[in-house]
Structure 1
Amino acid sequence: MQKETYERCSRRKCFYLLLCVVALFLLSFCWYSVRGTALHSHMAIFCDPQTRTRTSEDAFRLELLKDVSFERTRTRASENSSQLELLKDVFLERMLYEKPDTLKPPRTDVLMMTPWFAPIVWDGSYNIDILNAQFHQRHIRIGLTVFAIKKYTVFVKTFIETAEKFFMVGHKVNYYVFTDRVKEMPNITLVDGRQLVVLEVPSYKRWQEVSMRRMEMIRDHSLKRFINEVDYLVCVDVDMRFTDEVGVEILSDVFGTLHPGYFRAPRERFTYERRKASAAYIPPDEGDFYYAGGYFGGTVEEVYMLTSFCHSEMMTDKGNNIEAIWHDESYLNKYFLYHKPTKILSPEYLWDNNMGVPEVLKRRRFIAVPKNHNAIRNR
């Protein structure tokens, strides 16, 4: 009996001893694991705490970026694939025209290409039939903007009637007329695919203010309306009339027009803003051409960027009580100096008959209407 009791106690002791050994082993393992990690972390932080932290964070960010980048790439690829599937081949009908000769340029009396490979559009430099065929297949829509503020409403009728004869004939056109006198807008019958859109805007006491606010209004309506209605914008003065064809040859990402008074002048005669305090300032040793403020355009996106820049710079100057020498035209020239236009229109597209007719001017497509500036501007 005593022997059995003794053996039972021995087995119990062994069992408890084994439990203690196992417990000690587990505790030792845990302690060394925690201690080893802490020691390793302490050493890494001591050597280069920033590297350690950044490496960990950057790795995590990179993993996220990889996922996001992959998703974006996959989304773009999917979108581009869908867009590519919608693309149609541009196929031109059979046409008969004179073969272009690589050794005989159509004009040698004028500059036809800028140093940045932007064409300058002169009569004889293009075939309108080929261009029309290309643009018709794209189903483009063109917006033509003018400002008829105060007495300038008297020019709207002539402007639109002559545009119906010569401007973008055969293409879809929206005439956007900004005015403070909606009731004075003429009732004109337009051909199919063309419409007159009257946009009521506030008036301003000074004609200079009206001139400069054009950039702001075009910018705002580009964002809210034009982007949804047209593909290209052509922004011109209303006190003009079309006298010859103006078509899709003028269209490009962003285009400007050579000022008729300065297209033959040297750089030092350009009437850029020369005051360094102005945001429109252009140094005397810079400048390609002098562009007219009354004729520019491009895609809605590009016109939005152009007008945003000009308006922003105007507001900067206004805050400093500065008014550029030629108002919005000064800022337009600053923009085109550092954001080169992709196409330039020759003075054929903007002319005043009081300046005579130089030999290089084969056509006069858009000319100023004779008027008394003081009588019109101040009423």
Structure 2
Amino acid sequence: MHLKRKVLLLVPWLSALLLLKRYFRNDRAEELPLSEWFDPRTRPDVVTTTSWHAPVIWEGTFRRQVLQRHYRKRNLTLGLAVFATGSLADEYLEPFLLSANEYFMRGHRVVFYVLVDTLDRLPELEWGPLRRLKVFIVSEDGWPSDFHLRRMSSLGRHIVEGIQGEVDFLFGMTVTQIFQNHVGVEALGTRVAQLHGWWYFQNTRSFPYERRPTSAACIPFGQGDFYYDGAFMGGTPLEVLDLIDEYLKGVIHDLNTGLNSTYEKHLNKYFFLRKPTKLLSPEYNWDAEFYPPPQVQYVKVAQRSKRRF
């Protein structure tokens, strides 16, 4: 089946998604004032605050105990979603889940949402306290063959069908990542974006944005803030849903004009128009093939392989 026709099959539930977004349009996370937990002066060697006054989270810039007290009072449930099919699941799913169980939001209730094509690929693990696994089977029938289209459309459908009522914050990650150190409540926010480890240290003019004017993902030359990594994003479930909605609409627009831009370029356009309320530094997704520069003092999440998709 042609890719365009497959994508158009998403339209019926996309309408339900839009209705859900309108109903919960005032959904926002209750966040502490920055002055109570964030000190950008501790890291003069890096960008710690954006032009729109959003914090960039580096180790040493946040007061962990203050944040822990605040969020424990709220009795949160947090979600982490990962899409793992085929050989990627065989090779990477078990180490991803093992490391997430150890390091992701320790001390808080977490639901791990695993989207797989068969239960045979699911490893048997012992989960820690406050941890729960929820598995969704992703059928190939009627779904786009493009990896990111399958990943985001599947996640969006499950947010609509239940995730949005189960967790307060939701993160999406790629299965080729592995946690190396604690990732905690400092990462929570209404709309959270991950700075790209490579492009953070490059000149803004060289960012690989989509430049074709007729693409929905286009960011014109001379514009743009940062280059964001598609491997790690999050926020409230309804904000994640909004990102997915805009991405899918952008894909449909581009297919109608004969274009095919990448997921990461659509994601960068989304965060260009809807500024993140919190940015995660390259410490939260560093390519394991490269030795980190002095600015990256504490790698929390490593990308374990070259991007193949």
TM-score w.r.t. structure 1 length? 0.68
Matched, 1:343 2:283: no
Percent identity reads 33
SS state at 1:234 partner: strand
Structure 1 residues 268 and 208: CA distance shift in structure 2, 3 A: farther
Matched, 1:127 2:63: yes
SS state at 2:42 partner: coil
Matched, 1:198 2:141: no
Structure 1 residues 101 and 369: CA distance shift in structure 2, 3 A: closer
In 2, Cα distance between equivalents of 1:366 and 1:206: 30
Choose which of 274, 292, 303 in structure 2 pairs with 1:368: 303
Choose which of 64, 72, 78 in structure 2 pairs with 1:136: 72
In 1, Cα distance between equivalents of 2:72 and 2:208: 39
Question: What is the aligned length?
Answer: 274
SS state at 1:105 partner: helix
The structure where helix makes up a greater share of residues is: 1
Equivalent residue for 1:313? Answer: 250
Choose which of 144, 147, 152 in structure 2 pairs with 1:210: 147
TM superposition shift of 1:272: 0.6
Structure 1 residues 367 and 123: CA distance shift in structure 2, 3 A: same
Q: Aligned partner of 1:143: which letter? A: G
Equivalent residue for 1:145? Answer: 81
TM superposition shift of 1:179: 1.2
Superposition map of 1:1-379 within 5 A: 105-154=41-90, 155-203=92-140, 209-324=146-261, 327-370=262-305
* Unaligned ranges ≥5, structure 2: 1-31
In 1, Cα distance between equivalents of 2:180 and 2:203: 29
In 2, Cα distance between equivalents of 1:239 and 1:203: 21
SS state at 2:171 partner: strand
TM superposition shift of 1:132: 1.1
Q: Deviations over 1:151-183 (max 9, x none)?
A: 111211101111111110001111111111222
The runs of at least 4 aligned residues of structure 1 exceeding 6 Å deviation read: 99-102, 204-208
Contact 1:112 / 1:119 at 8 angstroms: preserved in 2? yes
Structure 1 residues 366 and 288: CA distance shift in structure 2, 3 A: same
> Which one has more relative contact order, counting CA pairs under 8 Å at least 6 apart?
2
Root-mean-square deviation (CA), in Å?
Answer: 2.4
Structure 1 residues 146 and 115: CA distance shift in structure 2, 3 A: same
Q: Deviations over 1:216-274 (max 9, x none)?
A: 22222111111111010111111111001100100000010110110011221111111
In 2, Cα distance between equivalents of 1:112 and 1:165: 27
Range moving further from structure 2, 206-215 or 191-200: 206-215
Q: Aligned partner of 1:183: which letter? A: D
In 1, Cα distance between equivalents of 2:290 and 2:162: 38
Contact 2:37 / 2:67 at 8 angstroms: preserved in 1? no
TM superposition shift of 1:204: 8.5
In 2, Cα distance between equivalents of 1:152 and 1:101: 37
In 2, Cα distance between equivalents of 1:261 and 1:207: 29
In 2, Cα distance between equivalents of 1:186 and 1:353: 24
Contact 1:153 / 1:181 at 8 angstroms: preserved in 2? no
SS state at 2:228 partner: coil
The structure where strand makes up a greater share of residues is: 2
TM superposition shift of 1:321: 2.7
In 1, Cα distance between equivalents of 2:121 and 2:303: 21
Range moving further from structure 2, 315-324 or 162-171: 315-324
TM-score w.r.t. structure 2 length? 0.83
TM superposition shift of 1:320: 2.6
Structure 1 residues 220 and 131: CA distance shift in structure 2, 3 A: same
Q: Deviations over 1:342-369 (max 9, x none)?
A: 0000000001122221000110000022
Contact 2:114 / 2:133 at 8 angstroms: preserved in 1? yes
* Unaligned ranges ≥5, structure 1: 1-89, 91-98
Equivalent residue for 1:32? Answer: none
Q: Deviations over 1:93-128 (max 9, x none)?
A: xxxxxx9998x9211111110011100000100111
In 2, Cα distance between equivalents of 1:351 and 1:208: 28
SS state at 2:226 partner: coil
SS state at 1:169 partner: coil
In 2, Cα distance between equivalents of 1:105 and 1:331: 33
Contact 1:215 / 1:328 at 8 angstroms: preserved in 2? no
